[in-house]
């Protein structure tokens, strides 16, 4: 494997470990209690508005989630 591919895989694994790490109760409470800035709140609301326009029904949202999940499974299998 090339050095770039090895480095990319190492970074993916590090990011996955951070993403999948379970939070302690204190960490969770701190994140929940932390208020969003006005800018961050506006960005989140904009993303939610886009998503609900793109996937207007519960069925379309579930179909999207299933496609996303299946795509990630395929990516994981390809990396092995």
Per-residue pLDDT at 80 exceeds 70? no
Q: What is the pLDDT of residue 25?
A: 94
Rounded average pLDDT over 16-42: 89
Q: Please state, in angstroms and rounded to a whole number, the distance separating the CA atoms of residues 55 and 61.
A: 5
Per-residue pLDDT at 50 exceeds 90? yes
On whether the CB atoms of residues 55 and 64 are closer than 8 A, the answer is yes
Number of domain units in the chain: 2
Per-residue pLDDT at 4 exceeds 90? no
Residues 75 and 41 in one domain: yes
Instruction: State which residues form the domain around 61.
Output: 37-80
Per-residue pLDDT at 32 exceeds 80? yes
For the entire predicted model, the pTM comes to 0.52
Residues 14 and 48 in one domain: no
């Amino acid at each position: 494997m090339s050095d770039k591919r090895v480095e990319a895989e190492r970074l993916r694994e590090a990011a996955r470990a951070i993403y999948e790490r379970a939070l302690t109760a204190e960490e969770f409470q701190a994140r929940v209690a932390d208020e969003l800035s006005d800018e961050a709140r506006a960005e989140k609301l904009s993303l939610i508005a886009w998503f609900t326009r793109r996937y207007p029904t519960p069925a379309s949202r579930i179909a999207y989630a299933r496609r996303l999940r299946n795509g990630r499974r395929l990516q994981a299998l390809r990396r092995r």
